[in-house]
């Protein structure tokens, strides 16, 4: 399969217990083409090993190594999943010859396949351009199985990623592309951004967000004292859609927590805020898929960002399997 790499068993190492106490003892490395339809709760980790979009967007390259770094850190974490839950590493989508568009298309097909086989997809990146492929994979699945159902996108991010793809698509254009596709199809573009910063988006991007009726919470509002209000906004958003796709851009976090990203900043939000919001989103029962973007091991310090990403995955897989 073009633009696809089988899972790497050597990533899944750690402390040996022989009692499934650690996630590397729980995981099944299963090539995508061999993945069966799940008969019980099942989670599939899929990498998006591409940073071409980051390069096109004048960012720091290195995020292509993000998926393997996250999986390796996640492998060493404790396993609290029940015996009735399956965990698969299904490999990674790759980007050959800087052909990001083909990689996005392949990612869309892979996400559709995972949903068809009753897996919960968690995509690990990789540039945020993966959001366009990820969304299209969900949309194709729903159009086939549940026509007419709506998708709401919740993006934890410092950036809108609503740049216009006048010349080439990149890591800053995915949600604008989705919005334009929705417009062509005559469907609503449901997009909520949490953690937007004024120093990370020019005034044209704010105008685009207004033109597209994007709902957003500024970073100075996305704070612990206002958590109850933010929870109310999330509940209002989820109430009006059938399914939620969550995307977490690691560069939205303060560089105190996430130095290893494509565009680091000390002014970002805290992990606590994201974890609390995820509890609310998962509690809605509408979360269909999730990804984590912009993990860049090249600029990480003591594995700090990798551990943050792995901890987010750990939180999600344990929370969704208990609901």
Residue 318 is labelled as binding a ligand: no
Residue 251 is labelled as binding a ligand: yes
Residue 128 is labelled as binding a ligand: yes
Residue 80 is labelled as binding a ligand: no
Residue 161 is labelled as binding a ligand: yes
Residue 68 is labelled as binding a ligand: no
Per residue, the 3-state secondary structure of the chain, as one string, reads CCCEECCCHHHCCCCCCCCCCEHHHHCEECCHHHCCCCCCCEEEEEEEECCHHHHHCCCCCCHHHHHHHHHHHHHCCECCCCCCCEEEEEEEEECHHHCHHHHHHHHHHHHHHHHHCCCEEEEEECCCCHHHHHHHHHHHHHHHHCCCCCEEEEEECCCCCCCCCCCCCCCCCHHHHHHHHHHHHCCCCEEEEEEECHHHCCHHHHHHHHHCCCEEEECCCCCHHHHHHHHHHHHHHHHCCCEEEEEEEHHHECCCCCCCECCCCCCCECHHHHHHHHHHHHHCCCEEEEEEECECHHHCCCCHHHHHHHHHHHHHHHHHCCC
The binding site comprises 128, 157, 159, 161, 249, 251
The binding site for Mn(2+) comprises 128, 157, 159, 161, 249, 251
């Amino acid at each position: 399969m073009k633009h696809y790499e089988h899972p790497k068993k050597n990533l899944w190492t750690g402390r040996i217990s022989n009692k499934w106490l650690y996630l590397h003892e729980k995981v099944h490395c299963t090539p995508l083409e061999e993945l069966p339809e799940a008969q019980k709760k099942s989670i599939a980790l899929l990498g998006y090993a591409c940073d071409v979009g980051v390069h096109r967007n004048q960012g720091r390259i290195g995020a292509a190594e993000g998926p393997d770094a996250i999986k390796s850190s996640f492998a060493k974490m404790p396993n609290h999943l029940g015996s009735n839950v399956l965990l698969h590493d299904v490999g990674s989508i790759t980007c050959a010859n800087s052909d990001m568009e083909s990689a996005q298309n392949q990612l869309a097909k892979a996400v559709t396949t995972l949903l068809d086989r009753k897996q919960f997809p968690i995509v690990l990146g990789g540039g945020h351009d993966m959001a366009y492929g990820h969304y299209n994979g969900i949309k194709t699945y729903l159009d086939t199985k549940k026509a007419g159902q709506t998708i709401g996108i919740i993006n934890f991010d410092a950036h809108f990623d609503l740049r216009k793809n006048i010349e080439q698509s990149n890591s800053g254009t995915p949600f604008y592309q989705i919005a334009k596709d929705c417009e062509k199809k005559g469907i609503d573009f449901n997009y909520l951004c949490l953690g937007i910063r004024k120093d990370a988006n020019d005034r044209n991007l704010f105008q685009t967000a207004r033109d597209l009726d994007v709902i957003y919470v500024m970073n100075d509002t996305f704070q612990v004292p206002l958590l109850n209000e933010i929870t109310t906004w999330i509940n209002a958003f989820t109430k009006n859609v059938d399914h939620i796709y969550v995307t977490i851009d690691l560069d939205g976090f303060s560089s105190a927590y996430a130095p290893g990203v494509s565009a680091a900043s000390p002014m970002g939000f805290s992990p606590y805020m994201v974890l609390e919001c995820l509890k609310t989103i998962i509690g809605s029962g509408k979360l269909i898929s999730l990804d984590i973007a912009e993990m860049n091991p090249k600029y990480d310090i003591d594995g700090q960002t990798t551990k943050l990403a792995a901890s987010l995955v750990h939180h999600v897989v344990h929370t969704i399997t208990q609901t």
